[in-house]
Amino acid sequence: MNISHALSPLLAVISGSLLSGTALSDNIMLPPPDKKGGRPLMQVLNERHSTRSFADKPIPMEILSSLLWAAQGVNRDDPDYRTAPSSRNSNEIEIYAVLPQGAYLYKPETHQLERVVQGDMRAATGTQEFAATAPLNLVYVVDQSKQPGDFDAKRKLVTACTGVGFIGENVYLFCTSAGLGTVFRAMIDADYIQRRLKLPVFKKVLYAQSVGYPSDS
């Protein structure tokens, strides 16, 4: 089998190096994130804004790696400790990276993407037209089996949405620092996304976030 031919659909979407022998249907081991780069925090906060128009430009693999680590990556020796806090450190929020070639679950413990759906389902991640063409859509899902058993339904929802808010703001700050555009979205059909991602009943879709280079960049 010609490896370069097998990789061409993926490389057309995300530039950067992949492990030798990686095929379209395989998991993606991300390169190490850049933890020392970026711009001053106060400058990034001053420039943070939402973007709803994206250029037809791929996100490099190295940038995708750092973006996902910034969102919810492991930042201490214990893999349960992440860049975004969670109630009782339950880490109940999952990030699904929806790319043109498929949807992948981000695994912070191993810093890799695990394929869950093959094919382009970007349009399914939102009701606004730009979701279908943004290079990357992040879908935020709560795994209710990880939430504290003594929380009632309202408290579970509040803490899950708060956790997603932390992650979403991490993405905003990283994107501003890296020259990317992003917008956090509530205009979604959560039940439809859940079916497309083939999620079990105890996992619920909460929000989504589109990412890409601004169309004027």
Q: In this predicted structure, what is the pLDDT of residue 8?
A: 35
Rounded CA gap, 121 and 102, in Å? 7
207 and 189 Cβ atoms separated by less than 8 Å: no
Average pLDDT, the chain: 90
Spatial neighbors of 31 by CB under 8 A, at least 6 apart, are 16, 17, 61, 62, 65
Q: Where are the beta strands (DSSP E) in 40-121?
A: 93-99, 102-107, 112-118
Rounded CA gap, 116 and 124, in Å? 15
Identify the three-state secondary structure at position 154: helix
Structure-token pair, residue 89: 């450190």
pLDDT-derived band at 217 (thresholds 50, 70, 90) equals low
Please state, as a whole number, how many other Cβ atoms lie within 10 Å of the Cβ of residue 171.
23
Rounded CA gap, 30 and 18, in Å? 8
For 101-144, write each residue's pLDDT tens digit. Answer: 999 999 999 999 999 999 999 999 999 999 999 999 999 999 99
pLDDT-derived band at 37 (thresholds 50, 70, 90) equals confident
- Provide the pairing of β-strand 181-185 with 203-212: antiparallel
On the question of pLDDT at 209 being above 70, the answer is yes
Dihedral (Cα; 54, 123, 115, 88), 10-degree rounding:
80
pTM value?
0.88
Distances (CA, A) of 125 to 48, 80, 139, 146, 154: 23, 28, 7, 24, 25
Rounded CA gap, 174 and 177, in Å? 5
